[in-house]
A and B are shown apart, each in its own frame.
Chain A
Amino acid sequence: MKAEIRGSDAFSYVDLTLAPGDSVVAESDAMSSMSADLDLQARFNGGFFAGLLRKYLAGETLFVNVFKNNTKAPRSLTLVQPTPGGIRALELHNNTFYLQPGAYLASTEGLKLGVGFAGFVSWIAGEGLFRTVVKGSGTLWYGAYGALLDKEIDGEYIVDNSHLVAYEPGIKLRLQLAGGIFSSLFGGEGLVTRVSGKGRVVIQTRSLSGLTGWINPKLS
């Protein structure tokens, strides 16, 4: 399988070429165009119960699509997330990666998707009580609104709730006020997440709530 991320940070999309026999799993409604003779099968996202959990708890969809090339020649497939923004590919080799709700786009068959309890921090932060846990070996594609930036954490760092996309297992989250009570009420920052530990966090440079926060005062 060949995969290429195009469209820059503004409108990333994944161009895949599936060799005969190749298959890829993608979030519901992620296909924007494909060869007409690719086979598509909808299945529960990690089994019926896991699928339900992921839908109601981790903000993902109940079904995922499996695209499979059963022809004898390479076939093309283009996948995209619902919002503009960056998409990343990540190779996992028998390790684990955590995604915030909604960040999952697609993966190769060697990866397992699960739901993990993210702690009450995540829930209060409006990000949902659960996170998507990706395990196994293969390629993961994930993305978010905005451009994606890496931040290596060794110690502690503060990230606004709506800007966290993904993180490595060495990272812990804790919730706190951005400033004093007055600042947190009127400064528009409210609660922030204190990330601690050692590992990488992925940050989105824009957030949907930031966008609507900018739009809403202009709407009558």
Chain B
Amino acid sequence: MQVEFIHRPGNTAATLLLAAGESCTTESGAMIAMSGQLDIETTTHKRGKGGLLKAAKRLFGGESFFLNHFTARSGPGEVLLGTALAGDMMDYTLDGDALLVQAGSFVACEQGVEIDTTWQGFKNLLSGESLFWLKLSGRGKVVLSSFGAIYPIEVDGEHIVDTGHIVAFQETLEFSLTKAGKSWLHSMLGGEGLVCKFKGRGTVWCQSHNPGSFGMSLRPTLKPRK
């Protein structure tokens, strides 16, 4: 499978090029368009793996219960994928390692990738991040999305990322909730509140913008609920 992106980082679309016989798994609702006569199958799990339990867990991970599988049976084909909100996309090739992915950021993966949901502890309750994260492992390409531009940070030691700005990180990193700077008071007064501190060695991918902040700036002029 080859992956190409267009319109980065504003309203990125991914084109997945499938050679004859290849297939891919995508988040439901992500398809924009497709060519040729691709086979489509909708299941609760990756073909031959997991089942209802994993699908239910994925719901907690902020993803949908169902996944779509596209297979290029009769010749090469392509699928165009987009996301719900404006934003960027990235791809990453897993080679036996694992990524932890923020809820809602999974877009697509190759066959050899395992999708699971992990519990990251109660700290997530406070952080405003989701309680469960997707864990992607195995071998193959994955495609992830964000709200805002994606920028990687190579952590070697400690680095702080504001809550709401994490897209994914390598499993080799550990994170904890803390304050920004030395003082809790200043972190609260300055509107930063709780932040995530990453420790160890590895990459964390951040999204430049926080969808919650954007939503709150729309709130004053958004039509109220009936």
In their complex, do chains A and B touch, with some C-beta pair under 8 Å? yes
User: Residues of A at under 8 Å CB distance from B?
Assistant: 6-13, 15, 28-29, 31-42, 61, 63-65, 78, 80, 82-84, 145, 208-209, 211-213, 215-216, 219-220
- Can you spell out 15 A-B residue pairs with CB atoms less than 8 angstroms apart? A7-B151, A9-B10, A13-B149, A29-B191, A29-B213, A32-B206, A33-B160, A36-B197, A42-B185, A42-B187, A42-B188, A65-B191, A83-B214, A84-B209, A219-B222
A215 touching B222, Cβ below 8 Å = yes
A42 touching B190, Cβ below 8 Å = yes
CB within 8 Å for A6 and B216 given contacts A33-B159, A42-B190, A82-B210: no
CB within 8 Å for A82 and B9 given contacts A33-B160, A35-B160, A208-B218: no
A40 touching B222, Cβ below 8 Å = no
Smallest Cβ-Cβ distance to B166: which chain A residue: A33
A13 touching B208, Cβ below 8 Å = yes
Chain B: residues with Cβ within 8 Å of the partner, total of 45
CB within 8 Å for A32 and B149 given contacts A11-B9, A40-B187: no
Smallest Cβ-Cβ distance to B182: which chain A residue: A39
A32 touching B218, Cβ below 8 Å = no
Smallest Cβ-Cβ distance to B164: which chain A residue: A32
A11 touching B10, Cβ below 8 Å = yes
B10 touching A8, Cβ below 8 Å = yes
Chain A residues closer than 8 Å to B116, beta-carbon distance: none
Chain B residues closer than 8 Å to A29, beta-carbon distance: 162, 190-193, 213
Is B53 an interface residue, CB under 8 A from the partner? no
Q: Which of A29, A64, A84 has the most chain B CB atoms closer than 10 A to its own CB?
A: A84
Residue from the list A11, A209, A215 in contact with B208, Cβ < 8 A: A11
A7 touching B190, Cβ below 8 Å = no
Question: Given the complex of chains A and B, what is the CA–CA distance between A180 and B193 in angstroms?
Answer: 49
CB within 8 Å for A7 and B162 given contacts A28-B191, A29-B190, A40-B187: no
Question: Given the complex of chains A and B, what is the CA–CA distance between A34 and B186 in angstroms?
Answer: 16
User: Residues of B at under 8 Å CB distance from A?
Assistant: 9-11, 86-88, 148-149, 151, 153, 157-162, 165, 180-183, 185-193, 195, 197, 206, 208-210, 213-214, 216-218, 221-223, 226
Chain A residues closer than 8 Å to B180, beta-carbon distance: 31, 34, 40
Residue from the list A38, A65, A84, A209 in contact with B190, Cβ < 8 A: A65
The smallest beta-carbon distance between B10 and chain A, in angstroms, is: 3
CB within 8 Å for A83 and B217 given contacts A35-B159, A65-B190, A220-B226: yes
A11 touching B181, Cβ below 8 Å = no
Chain A residues closer than 8 Å to B151, beta-carbon distance: 6-7, 13, 15, 78
A41 touching B221, Cβ below 8 Å = no
CB within 8 Å for A31 and B162 given contacts A40-B180, A78-B208, A208-B218: yes
Residue from the list B186, B208, B217 in contact with A40, Cβ < 8 A: B186
Question: Given the complex of chains A and B, what is the CA–CA distance between A211 and B153 in angstroms?
Answer: 32
B165 touching A28, Cβ below 8 Å = no
A7 touching B148, Cβ below 8 Å = yes
B209 touching A211, Cβ below 8 Å = no
A63 touching B191, Cβ below 8 Å = yes
A80 touching B208, Cβ below 8 Å = yes
Chain A residues closer than 8 Å to B210, beta-carbon distance: 32, 80, 82
A11 touching B88, Cβ below 8 Å = yes
A208 touching B189, Cβ below 8 Å = no
The smallest beta-carbon distance between B118 and chain A, in angstroms, is: 23
Residue from the list B149, B197, B213, B221 in contact with A7, Cβ < 8 A: B149
Question: Given the complex of chains A and B, what is the CA–CA distance between A129 and B189 in angstroms?
Answer: 26
B218 touching A212, Cβ below 8 Å = yes
A41 touching B222, Cβ below 8 Å = no
A82 touching B213, Cβ below 8 Å = yes
Smallest Cβ-Cβ distance to B159: which chain A residue: A36
Question: Given the complex of chains A and B, what is the CA–CA distance between A29 and B195 in angstroms?
Answer: 11
Chain B residues closer than 8 Å to A36, beta-carbon distance: 157-160, 197
Residue from the list A13, A65, A212 in contact with B148, Cβ < 8 A: A13
